Amino acid sequence: MDQVLAGKKIILGVTGSIAAYKAADLTSRLCKLGAEVAPVMTAAAQRFLTPLTLQTLARQPVAVDLWDEANGWRPGHIELADKADLLLVAPATADVIAQFANGLAPDFLSSLFLMARCPVLIAPAMNEKMWTHPATMANVATLKTRGAEFIGPEEGLLACGDEGIGRLWPVEGIVDRVVGLLRKVACDR
């Protein structure tokens, strides 16, 4: 298989959406393309998917707790942020988008976001009413002005049974966007 992402370090932030299970497929596909995937899961994400799943697929430890710094003296969120070529948050909930937009850092992922100086790609997944709420739209606009890129969400049947916009963008589309972003960054250097 073509190793188009060989040598690239991608932090995959996974948040508490029912779409969190798709992070396993995303991790697998990115690793097959040669990327080193460092999974980071919020506490809410762990209600939908176990860290062991992503750890096995990524062959990397999964960061889950800002206060679990047993490996060395340097805080993990700082070390990961400094090494990252891309921060991908998929799925991203309205809560995490709000934390990012407002500079809140209550956990590992949001603290890492504030440290990251690499490109950021956010793939939202939530109920349509949450996605279209003026607060969420304002938070998305704020993050876009700060350089974050978004992919999705798409329309379709939502986990709650509603039809509308809010589904996580298809995994293959997210992977294609990651490849495109990292190629663009390489060309800009």
Domains and CATH numbers, the chain: 9-188 (3.40.50.1950)
Q: Which residues are catalytic?
A: 160
What is residue 185's predicted lDDT score, i.e. its pLDDT?
Answer: 76
Question: 85-101, pLDDT tens digit by residue?
Answer: 999 999 999 999 999 99
What is residue 99's predicted lDDT score, i.e. its pLDDT?
Answer: 98
Please state, in angstroms and rounded to a whole number, the distance separating the CA atoms of residues 143 and 102: 9
What is residue 55's predicted lDDT score, i.e. its pLDDT?
Answer: 96
The model's confidence at residue 74, banded by pLDDT at 50, 70 and 90, is low
Please state, in angstroms and rounded to a whole number, the distance separating the CA atoms of residues 4 and 15: 26
Please state, in angstroms and rounded to a whole number, the distance separating the CA atoms of residues 80 and 63: 10
Q: What percent of the chain has pLDDT over 90?
A: 80
Range with the poorest average pLDDT among 31-40, 63-72, 108-117, 141-150: 63-72
Average pLDDT of the chain to the nearest whole number: 92
What is residue 73's predicted lDDT score, i.e. its pLDDT?
Answer: 47
The model's confidence at residue 71, banded by pLDDT at 50, 70 and 90, is low
The model's confidence at residue 147, banded by pLDDT at 50, 70 and 90, is very high
